[in-house]
Amino acid sequence: MKMTEALPTRKAVRLRGRSFLALVLSPELPFGEWLTQLDDLARRSTGFFLGRPIVLDVAGLPITREQLADLLAELTKRNVRVMGIEGALPSILAPGMPPEMKGGRNAADIEVPETPEGGAPAASQAKTTTDAPKTPDPVRATHVATTPSLLIEEPVRSGQSIIFPEGDVTVLGSVSSGAEVIAGGSIHVYGALRGRALAGSAGNANARIFCRKLEAELIAIDGLYKTAEDIDPKMRGQAVHVWLDDTVLRTVALAN
| One domain for residues 89 and 170 | no
**Are the C-beta atoms of residues 77 and 42 closer than 8 Å to each other?**
no
What would the pLDDT profile of 89-105 be if each residue is shown by its tens digit?
889 999 999 988 876 65
Question: What is the DSSP annotation of 130-162?
Answer: SSPPPPPPPPPEEEETTTTEEEE-S-B-TT-EE
Mean pLDDT for the stretch of residues 218-233: 88
What would the pLDDT profile of 107-148 be if each residue is shown by its tens digit?
444 444 344 444 433 333 333 333 444 445 554 444 444 447
Please tell me the predicted confidence (pLDDT) of residue 39. Answer: 86
| Domain assignment of residue 127, yes or no | no
Q: Whole-prediction pTM value?
A: 0.52
Q: Regarding predicted confidence, which is higher, 224 or 68?
A: 68
Question: What 3-state class would DSSP assign to 193?
Answer: strand
- Stretch among 70-79, 126-135, 197-206, 220-229 having the lowest mean pLDDT: 126-135
| One domain for residues 222 and 147 | yes
Please report which confidence band the pLDDT of residue 22 belongs to, taking 50, 70 and 90 as the band edges.
confident
Tally of structural domains, the chain: 2
For residue 171, pLDDT beyond 90:
yes
Among 234, 236, 241, CA closest to 255: 241
Q: How far from the centroid of its chain's Cα atoms is residue 104's Cα? A: 16
Among 35, 97, 24, 89, CA closest to 62: 89
| Domain assignment of residue 115, yes or no | no
Please tell me the predicted confidence (pLDDT) of residue 216. Answer: 94
| One domain for residues 146 and 97 | no
Q: Which strand ranges, in their side-by-side order, compose the sheet holding 224-227?
A: 161-164, 180-183, 196-199, 218-221, 224-227
Mean pLDDT for the stretch of residues 166-193: 93
| One domain for residues 91 and 169 | no
78: domain CATH number is 3.30.70
Beta carbons within 10 angstroms of residue 186's beta carbon: 22
Instruction: Give the CA distances from residue 91 to residues 62, 65, 185, in Å, rounded to whole numbers and listed in that order.
Output: 12, 7, 38
Mean pLDDT for the stretch of residues 43-55: 71
Mean pLDDT for the stretch of residues 159-166: 85
pLDDT-above-70 percentage for the chain: 71
Q: Regarding predicted confidence, which is higher, 84 or 114?
A: 84
Q: What is the DSSP letter of 173?
A: S
Domain that includes residue 77, residue range: 23-101
- Stretch among 55-69, 136-150, 180-194, 228-242 having the lowest mean pLDDT: 136-150
Please tell me the predicted confidence (pLDDT) of residue 165. Answer: 83
| Domain assignment of residue 212, yes or no | yes
Please, what is the average pLDDT of the chain? 78
Q: Regarding predicted confidence, which is higher, 249 or 130?
A: 249
Contacts of 221 (CB under 8 A, 6+ apart): 198, 199, 200, 205, 207, 208, 209, 242, 243, 244, 249
| One domain for residues 160 and 244 | yes
Most trustworthy range by pLDDT among 42-46, 53-57, 137-141: 53-57
- Report the alpha-carbon distance of residue 21 to residue 184 in Å, rounded: 11
- Report the alpha-carbon distance of residue 210 to residue 195 in Å, rounded: 14
Among 189, 186, 127, CA closest to 158: 127
